[in-house]
Amino acid sequence: MTEPIRLSKRMSELGLSSRREADEWIAKGWVRVDGKVVSELGSKVLPHQKITVERQAAAEQSKRVTVLINKPVGFVSGQAEDGYKPAVTLIKPENRWLEDDADEQFHPTQLRSLVPAGRLDIDSVGLLVLTQDGRIAKQLIGENTDIEKEYLVRVQYTRPGKLPDADLKKLNHGLWMDGKPLLPAKVRWQNDDQLSFTLKEGRKRQIRRMCDMVGLKVVGLKRVRIGRVKLGDLPQGQWRYLRPDEQF
């Protein structure tokens, strides 16, 4: 016997919406189960039941924007803390990249519920995604995400000689953090003092801590790619819209 599950959870599993969006749509009468409108929050469905949404829901979803920003040092990803400004404060017309060719027009309402899909440390720079779209947030930071994130990391070796190959192998696989093994990573030298890290997880200050374990000191860290979306030539402190043809 298959257990019934919450309609909003099932909609999220099917990729129709985020759970919060689903609850909004259910309350507005925009969701049908097997052709019948379901407007009671907390309603449950069986996995085989057919869920459809009204056109208004799709139209509302398509208005939700996703913004890419090249975050400078000194800005936090999310809420303001310790006197530091959040990256969202950079999203204003004068900071929009002149080469952004998206048709989207900036409007202050886009700043409402624009949340970071992932974090980037205050002393790191590079690609940060802010989105109003729950589906994108789930794709990038949901518990089952396997989206790659690529970083360029400038380092100094704090021990005599140079980093042994065995320690480079450890950075790729074999380190533990907070009592758990890290997922395999792709770490390789770009040049004498710069490594490329490609990760599928993002524990707090993970790259800096990994480097510390093998005697490397991080002197600069820049995120250059999330999934298939690259930072490219976007200047530091500027932003652009995610284009309709781009997918993480």
Min mean pLDDT across 1-5, 7-11, 85-89, 105-109 is at 1-5
The answer to whether residue 100 is catalytic is no
For 13-52, write each residue's pLDDT tens digit.
887 887 888 999 999 999 999 999 999 999 999 999 999 9
Tell me the CATH architecture of domain 66-144+229-241.
2-Layer Sandwich (3.30)
From the list 121, 178, 192, 193, the catalytic residue is 121
pTM for the full predicted model? 0.80
What pLDDT digit, counting tens, does each position of 190-227 carry?
Answer: 999 999 999 999 888 999 999 999 999 999 999 999 99
What is the topology classification, in CATH, of domain 5-62?
A: 3.10.290
Residues in a beta bridge with 240:
68
The CATH architecture to which 149-226 belongs is 2-Layer Sandwich (3.30)
Helix (H) or strand (E) holding 140: helix 134-141
Q: Where are the beta strands (DSSP E) in the chain?
A: 5-6, 31-33, 36-37, 44-45, 51-53, 66-71, 75-76, 85-86, 115-116, 125-131, 149-157, 176-177, 180-181, 186-191, 194-199, 216-226, 229-230, 239-241
Q: Which two tokens stand for residue 59?
A: 């139209």
Beta strands (DSSP E) in 97-140 are 115-116, 125-131
DSSP track, 4-60: PEEHHHHHHHTTS--HHHHHHHHHTT-EEETTEE---TT-EE-TTS-EEE-HHHHHH
- Parts of the chain belonging to CATH 3.30.2350.10: 149-226
Task: Pinpoint the residues of the chain covered by CATH 3.10.290.10.
Answer: 5-62
Where are the CATH 3.30.70.580 domain residues in the chain?
66-144+229-241
